[in-house]
């Protein structure tokens, strides 16, 4: 499986520096993106409009487990990266292991940082917020599609299918 938009963090920083020299505005977002759904796609498409290049810092499998619990992620990090890469609006992806993206913000130095509006400035990790301010990144909260979440999708699957195992000939 070939991935053209997938980078090591070091490689992503090199590309970022090239984009800076070319005068391009770089947007960063981060998340687990465990089951890519319309809410994610909406946010990513809207986020890409804030600059010339949208980058996704993707939580590693171990990071997702620490944030979401032992049953997550559902999809492993390489497959999540592959799904994100298929989106035209995404320019690059890198994986990070920590529970927050403070170090990545400090080194990657995005011009704009976007998150879905289910978060607020008060919800951001204080270290991330400090790093964003230090690098001078504009912070933008994008409209949130509340009908979509990985947790809701998983709950629906469990409720609708696990209790009916075998009843539909599956």
What's the start-to-end Cα distance of the chain, in Å? 29
Q: Say if residue 110 is exposed, middle or buried (CB neighbours under 10 Å; 0-12, 13-18, 19+).
A: buried
Domain ranges of the chain: 9-162
Average pLDDT over residues 90-95: 98
Is the pLDDT score of 166 beyond 80? no
- What's residue 117's pLDDT? 83
pLDDT at 169 over 50: no
Query: What is the band of 2 on the pLDDT scale with cuts at 50, 70, 90?
Result: confident
Q: Is the peptide bond before 166 cis (omega within 30 degrees of 0)?
A: no
Task: Please give the class, per CATH, of domain 9-162.
Answer: alpha beta
Rounded to an integer, the average pLDDT of 86-96 is 97
- Least reliable range by pLDDT among 33-37, 56-60, 126-130, 135-139: 33-37
């Amino acid at each position: 499986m070939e991935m053209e938009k997938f980078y090591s963090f070091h490689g992503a920083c090199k590309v970022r520096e090239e984009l800076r020299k070319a005068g391009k505005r770089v947007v960063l977002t981060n998340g687990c993106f465990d089951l890519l759904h319309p809410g994610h796609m909406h946010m990513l498409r809207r986020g890409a409009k804030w600059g010339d290049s949208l980058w996704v810092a993707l939580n590693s499998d171990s990071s997702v487990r620490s944030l979401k619990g032992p049953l997550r992620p559902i999809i492993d990090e390489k497959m999540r990266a592959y799904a994100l890469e298929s989106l035209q609006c995404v320019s690059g992806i890198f994986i990070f292991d920590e529970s927050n993206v403070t170090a990545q913000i400090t080194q990657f130095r995005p011009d704009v940082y976007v998150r879905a509006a289910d978060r607020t400035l008060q919800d951001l990790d204080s270290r991330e917020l400090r790093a964003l301010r230090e690098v001078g990144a504009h912070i933008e909260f994008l409209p949130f599609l509340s009908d979509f979440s990985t947790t809701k999708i998983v709950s629906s699957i469990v409720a609708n299918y696990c209790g009916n195992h075998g009843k539909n000939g599956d």
